[in-house]
A and B are shown apart, each in its own frame.
Chain A
Amino acid sequence: MKYLIIVLLFVSSLCFSQGNNLKSQKVSFNVKGVCEMCKDRIEKGTLKLKGVKYVNWDIISNNISLIYNSEKLKLDDIHKEISLLGHSTDKHTAPTEIYNNLPDCCKYETLSIH
C-alpha cells in the first residue's frame, strides 16, 4: 500500500506532463533583434502566448525555435504577436510606432549584433 503512493506520484505526473505532446509542433523562423534585451523581450513575450510551450531565440543567427500546441494557436498568429513586440519576423513587419519605442540598444534596423 505504502509503495503505491510512490508509484502513483511518479506515474500520474508522468502522464500529466506527457499528455499533449502529440499535438506539439516544432518550428523555427527568423526574428530580428540585436541584443540580450531583445532576447528577453522576444522569449518572454512569446512564452506568454497560450499554447506556446518552449521558446529559444539565438542572437547570432536571429533564429527562434519554438514548440507550440497547434490546436490552440496558429503559426501566423505567433508571427504577428512577435511583430507586435517590436521585432519583425519573416512574415510580419513590426509596426513603426512600436519599433520606435524600443530602447536604443534594441534598434536592430540600424545596429549590428552586440
Chain B
Amino acid sequence: MNKILFLFTFFLTLNVQSQKLISGKITYVNESNIESVLEGVSVYWEDLSYGATSDFSGNYSIPSSASSNKLIFKFIGFKQDTIEIGDNKKYNHLMVVDNSQLDEVVVNKRKKTIQKSYFKTQNIINVSSDELLKAACCNISESFETNPSIDVSYSNAVTGVKQVKMLGLESPYLLITEENIPMIRGASQVYGLSFIPGTWVESMQITKGSGSVVNGFESISGQINVELKKPYSDNPLSVNVYSNNMGRNEINIHGNKKFNDKLSSGIYLHANKNSSINDNNNDGFLDQPTSKAFNLFNRWQYINPEKGTVSFLGVRYMKDDKVIGENTKDMVTIAPWKGEINTSRFDSNFKFGYVNASIPYQSLGLQMAFSKHDQNSFFGSRNYNINQNSFYSNIIYNSIIGNTLNKIKVGLNYSYDDFDELVDKNNFFTRIDKSIGGFFEYSYDSMDAISLVAGIRYDIHNNLGSFFTPRLHMRYQPYEKSVIRLSLGSGRKASNIFSENQNIFATGREIKRNNVLGKFYGLDPEKAFNYGISLRQGFFINNREGDITFDYYVTDFDNQVVVDWETQGELSFYNLNGKSFSKSLQIDLEYQILDNVLFKSTFKNYDVKKQYNSGFKQNPLTPKNRFFTNIEASTNENENGSKWKLDFTYNWIGNQRLPSHTSLIDLKGSSPSYNLINSQITRVFSNKFEIYIGGENIGGYTQKNPVLGGDDPFGTNFDTSLIYAPIHGALFYVGLRFNN
C-alpha cells in the first residue's frame, strides 16, 4: 500500500499538469571551495503559479508556467536569484552565499531512526535505513536485534540461521512482504529473511496486529514490509565491506544510473563467504556453517510525471550454499555427521502505478511477481528438498467517497504456488495452492482526533475453501501527545510443516504426523483471531521529548498445527485439540536524555500456551520475560559532516521452558536467564565515507551444550534444535561504507 501512497504524495508535490517540466541541479561553493549540492532551495515562478523545493541531491523540477518565464531561487543565507527561462528544459543554478544576512537561528531536530506515528491508524513502526546500520551485519533477520518489537534467536545449533518472532509467535505467522508483494513464505519461510541483504533496504514497516486486508489473508500476528532502494533516489555508487573475527566476509556494491529524467536503473550486488572452521565450544560441531552466497538484483524505474505513471521492473538471482556439521579436520571417525543446504532462487516483478493527473485522489496500481525457489539439502542421513514456484498478482484502485477524508481501496489478488518436496528418504509431497480474492477497504480520517480503517476480503482458495477475512483498526487521539489504538482481525494460513520447521532435520527425532485427511500433509489449515490495544503517551521533561507506549495483543487460535517437541526422540504434528493463545504485553519507554543521546527501554511479557497431547503448557524456548535497553549517541557534526556515532544495546532474556531431554536433565526443565550486549562505534569521516567497528554478544554468554547427543549423531537422541542462548561467544567486526 505504501507504493500507492508514495505515488500519491509524489504526484501531489510535483503538482502534476500536462505541461513540460523545467528541472536542474542547484549548487553552491562551500568553505573549502568545492562545488556542492544545495538542498531545500525554494524554486518558484515569479507569479507564484508553481513552486518546488530542491531535494537532497540539489535537484529540482517544476512544471512550466503559462503566465511567467521568470524563475526565482531563494534560500536562507544565499542571494535571491531570478533567471529567465527560455526553450530549454534544464537549468542548473549556482547560488551565491549572502554574507550580509545575520546568522540564522537554526532549529535542528534529529530524525529518529525508528519512528512511531501519532497519526497512522494502524500500529506501524517505521524503521529507516539508518537504524539498519546499527546492526552492521548482514541481512535483515539480524537487523532486528536493535528493535524491541521483534525477537531474534538462533533456530538451531548448526545452521547459524536466526529466526524472528513477533508477539510471541514464530515468523510463519507474520506476513512478510517486499514492497507489498508477499515474499518470505512457503519454502523460503526459514531462511528467506537472511536472503535480503541489509544494505538493499530503504526502510521497513512493522505492523503489530492483523494489518490491512490489501496484502492478503495470511497475516496473523503482524506484517513486516521491506522497501528496497530505488534507482531514482539511491546514490550513484555505494560500497559496503564487512569482516568479522569468525571468518565471515561480506561485500555489497550498488550502482545506479539515471538515463534521463524518466528512466533509471540500479544494479545491486551482494556476496559473502565464510570459510573458517569455528568450533569454540569444542563439541566437535561447527558453531557456524562454512558458507558462500551471492545475490544479484537489477531493477528499473520509469517515472513519467506528465502522464502520471510510475513503473518498476526487477530481476534477481540468488545462490546460497552452506556446509554444516562435524569438524572433520582432526577427526578419526569414519562417517562424520555432515550436511549441506544449497538454495537458489529467481525472482522477477513488475509494478505499475497510475495517478489521474486531473483527479489526484484516484489512482490505480498493478503488481505482478514470479519466483522460483529451490532448496536441496541433507542433514546427516536425512534429506530435505523443496521446490516452489509462485506467481502473485494484485490490482488495486484508490478513490474517495464524498471527500478525501473518506478513502477507499478496492482490488483483486491472484496467487498460485506449487510445492514439490522430498522428506527424509522417500516421502514425496506435492501440492498446488491457488487463490483468488477481492478486497474492499474503507478509511476515515477526521484529520484530528479519530481515524478508522475497516476492511474485508473474500477469498476462494482450492485448499482452504472460501471465506471472508475482516480487519478493523481504530485510532483515537484525545490530546496531541496521546493516542489509543485498537485492532481486530482474523487470518488463515496453510502450514508448510517441513519448511517451517526445518530444524527437525538436524535431529534424530522421528517425525510423526497425525493424518486426519486434511489438505495440508493430512492436517487442517490454521486459523486465528488477533486483537489488541496500544496506548501511547508523549511527554516533555526538562524540555526534552519522550514517550511511553503500552501494547497488549492477543492471538487466539481456532486451529493450529501443533508442533510437539515434548517427547525425546520424536516430533509430532497434529491439529490443535483445545486452546492455544499468545498474549503479549510490551511497555516501551523512550527519552531524549541529551540533544545527542536517545534512550530506549522495553519490557516484554509473553504468555504463549497451547494444548499439547501431554497437557496445556507454555510454548517451549519462548522467554516469558525480556528486558531491552538501547542507547544511541553521537557527537555534533563538524562542517565537513564528520562525527562519531555510538550505539549500545543490552538485552536480558528470562527463563524459557525446555522440552525434556536426558542431556538437559540438570536444568530441570527451565533455561537460565542471561544477558546479551551489542555495541557499535562508527566514525563518519564525511558524507561519503565511514568506518564502523562493533561487537555482538560482548559478554560472551553461550549455551553449554547446544548439540545434544553429539557423541552418536545418527542416533535418536541427537538434537540440535533445543537452543535457548547464543552458540558462539563474543563476535567482533569491522567494516566501511562509501557513498558517492
A47 with B447, Cβ < 8 A, contacts A6-B458, A10-B410, A10-B412 known: yes
**Contacts between chains A and B (CB distance < 8 A), count:** 87
Contact partner of B51 among A18, A54, A58, CB < 8 A? A58
Question: How would residues 534 to 568 of chain B score, 1 for a CB under 8 Å from any chain A CB and 0 otherwise?
Answer: 00000000000000000000000000000000000
Interface residues of A in 1-52 (CB under 8 A from B): 2-3, 5-7, 9-10, 13-14, 16-18, 21, 24, 26, 30, 40, 43-44, 47, 52
Q: In the complex the two chains form, is B44's CB within 8 Å of A60's CB? A: yes
Question: Does B403 interact with chain A (Cβ within 8 Å)?
Answer: yes
Alpha-carbon distance A43/B448, docked complex (angstroms): 12
A21 to B401, alpha carbons, bound, how many Å?
11
Instruction: Give B37-57 as 1s and 0s: 1 = Cβ < 8 Å from A's Cβ atoms.
Output: 000001011001111110000
Q: Is the CB of A60 within 8 A of B440?
A: no
- Considering the chains assembled together, what is the distance between the CA atoms of A33 and B161 in angstroms? 56
- Stretch binding the partner chain, chosen from A61-69, A76-84, A97-105: A61-69
Instruction: Name the CB-closest residue of B to A26.
Output: B358
Residues from 422 to 469 in B contacting A, C-beta threshold 8 Å: 436-440, 447-448, 458, 460, 466
CA distance A9 to B12 in the complex (A): 29
**Cβ contact of A16, chosen from B12, B45, B401, cutoff 8 A:** B401
Write the chain B residue with the least CB distance to A112.
Answer: B74
Most buried by B among A13, A14, A26, A62: A13
Contact of A61 with B412 at beta-carbon distance under 8 Å, contacts A6-B437, A13-B440 already known: no
In chain B, what residue has the closest Cβ to A19? B401
Partner of B361, one of A2, A16, A54: A54
A9 to B460, alpha carbons, bound, how many Å?
A: 14
Of the candidates B48, B360, B404, B438, the one whose C-beta lies within 8 Å of that of A63 is B48
* Chain B residue with Cβ nearest A58: B51
Please name all residues of chain B whose beta carbon is closer than 8 Å to the beta carbon of A7 when the two chains form the complex.
438
Number of residues on chain A facing chain B (CB within 8 A): 34
- Chain A minimum-CB-distance residue to B44: A60
In this assembly, does B593 line the interface, its C-beta being within 8 Å of a C-beta of chain A?
no
Query: In the complex, what residues of B have CB within 8 A of residue A13's CB?
Result: 408, 410, 440
Instruction: Establish whether residues B404 and A54, one from each chain, have CB atoms under 8 Å apart when the complex forms.
Output: yes
- CB-CB under 8 A from A30, the residues of chain B are 48
List residues of chain A with CB within 8 A of the CB of B361.
53-54, 67
Output the nearest chain A residue to B398 by Cβ-Cβ distance.
A17
- Knowing A52-B403, A53-B404 are in contact, say whether A9-B397 is a contact too (CB < 8 A): no
> Would you call A5 and B447 a contact (CB within 8 A)?
no
A61–B50 touching, CB < 8 Å: yes
Chain A residues closer than 8 Å to B438, beta-carbon distance? 5-7, 9-10
B357-401, CB under 8 A of A: which get 1 and which 0? Answer: 011111000000000000000000000000000000000010111
Distance in angstroms from B99 CB to nearest chain A CB is 20
- Closest residue of chain B to A51 (Cβ to Cβ) is B403
Q: How far is the CB of A26 from chain B (nearest CB, A)?
A: 6
Q: Write out, one digit per residue, whether chain A residues 88-109 have a CB within 8 A of any chain B CB (1) or not (0).
A: 0000000000000000000000
Are the CB atoms of A54 and B403 closer together than 8 Å? yes
Known: A7-B438, A9-B440, A10-B412. A17 touches B400 (CB 8 A): yes
Which residues does chain A contribute within 8 Å of B447, judged by CB atoms? 40, 43-44, 47
Could you say which of B12, B51, B405, B440 contacts A61, with CB atoms under 8 Å apart? B51
* Contact assessment for B403 and A53 in the assembled complex, using a CB-CB cutoff below 8 Å: yes
Question: A47 contacts which chain B residues (CB < 8 A)?
Answer: 403-405, 447
- CB B320 to nearest CB in A, in angstroms, measures 38
B402 within 8 A of A: yes
Contact among A21, A55, A61 with B49 in the assembled complex (CB-CB below 8 Å): A61
The CA of A63 and the CA of B48, in the complex, are separated in Å by: 8
Known contacts A6-B458, A56-B360, A58-B15, A63 near B410 by CB under 8 Å: no
Closest to B409 in A: A13
Q: Is the CB of A61 within 8 A of B401?
A: no
A110 to B361, CA, bound (A): 34
Contact (Cβ within 8 A) B460 A24: no
Q: Select one of A5, A16, A24 contacting B359, CB under 8 A.
A: A24
Please name the residue on chain B nearest to A49 by beta carbon.
Answer: B403
Contact across chains for A9 and B408 when beta carbons are under 8 A apart: no
Known: A44-B447, A53-B403, A61-B51. A14 touches B397 (CB 8 A): yes
Shortest Cβ distance from residue B591 to the other chain A in the assembled complex, whole angstroms: 26
Contact B400 A62 (CB under 8 A): no
A2 and B466 form a contact (CB under 8 A): yes
Could you tell me if B412 and A6 are in contact, using CB atoms closer than 8 angstroms? yes
State which of A40, A53, A56, A59 has its C-beta within 8 Å of the C-beta of B400: A53
Question: How far apart are the CA atoms of A44 and B436 in the complex, in Å?
Answer: 39
B444 to chain A, nearest CB (A): 13
Chain B residue contacts of A9, Cβ below 8 A:
410, 438-440, 458
Minimum CB–CB distance for A81 against chain B, Å: 14
Q: How far is the CA of A113 from the CA of B400 in the complex (A)?
A: 31
Assess whether A17 is in contact with B458, with CB atoms less than 8 Å apart: no
Give the docked Cα–Cα distance between A24 and B362 (Å).
13
CB atoms of A54 and B15 under 8 A apart: no
From A21, A53, A56, A62, name the one whose CB has the most chain B CB atoms within 10 angstroms: A53
Chain B residues, Cβ within 8 Å of A44: 447-448
CB within 8 Å of A: which B31-88 residues: 42, 44-45, 48-53
Given contacts A2-B466, A6-B438, A54-B404, contact A60 B410 (CB under 8 A): no
Partner of B458, one of A5, A14, A16, A18: A5
- With A6-B412, A61-B51 in contact, is A56–B12 under 8 Å at CB? yes
Alpha-carbon separation in the docked complex, A64 to B97 (Å): 32
Q: Which residue of A lies closest to B42 (CB)?
A: A60
**Separation in Å of the B418 CB from the closest CB of chain A?**
22
What is the 8 Å Cβ interface bit string for chain B, positions 8-41, against chain A (1 contact, 0 not)? 0000100100000000000000000000000000
CA separation between A102 and B308, bound complex, in Å? 37
Specify which chain B residues have a CB less than 8 angstroms from the CB of A58 in the assembled complex.
Answer: 15, 51
Which B residue sits closest to A6, measured CB to CB? B438
Question: Is the CB–CB distance between B48 and A53 below 8 Å?
Answer: no
Other-chain residue from A6, A40, A43 in contact with B436 (beta carbon distance below 8 A)? A6
Would A62 and B436 count as touching, CB distance under 8 A? no
Residues on B with beta carbons closer than 8 Å to the beta carbon of A63:
48-51
A14 touches B410 (CB 8 A): yes
Q: A113 — which chain B residues lie within 8 A by C-beta?
A: 42
Nearest residue, chain A, Cβ from B413: A6
Q: Which B residue's beta carbon lies closest to that of A7?
A: B438
A52 CB → nearest B CB, Å: 6
Bound Cα distance from A40 to B119, whole angstroms: 14
B51–A3 CB distance below 8 A: no
Say whether A3 contacts B360, CB under 8 Å.
no
Chain A residues lying within 8 Å of B44, measured Cβ to Cβ, are 60-61
Which B residues are CB-close (under 8 A) to A67? 359, 361
Given A14-B410, A56-B12, A56-B360, CB of A6 within 8 Å of CB of B460:
yes
- Contact check, A17 vs B51: say whether CB atoms are below 8 A apart: no
Q: In the complex, A6→B436 CA distance in Å?
A: 9
A26 vs B12: C-alpha distance in the bound complex, in angstroms?
A: 15
A1 CB to nearest B CB, Å: 10
Chain A residues whose C-beta falls within 8 Å of the C-beta of B437 in the assembled complex: 6
Q: Which residues of A contact B411 (CB under 8 A)?
A: 10
The 5 nearest A-B residue pairs measured at CB: A60-B51, A6-B438, A17-B399, A61-B51, A13-B410
A-B contact pairs, 27 of them (CB 8 A): A3-B436, A3-B460, A5-B438, A9-B458, A10-B410, A10-B412, A10-B438, A13-B408, A13-B410, A13-B440, A16-B408, A17-B362, A18-B399, A24-B359, A26-B359, A43-B447, A47-B403, A52-B403, A53-B400, A54-B360, A54-B404, A60-B42, A60-B52, A61-B51, A62-B48, A63-B50, A65-B15
If A6-B460, A17-B400 are given as contacts, then 14 extra A-B residue pairs at C-beta distance below 8 Å, sorted by A number, are A2-B460, A5-B458, A6-B438, A13-B440, A14-B410, A16-B408, A44-B447, A47-B405, A53-B361, A56-B12, A59-B51, A61-B49, A63-B51, A67-B361
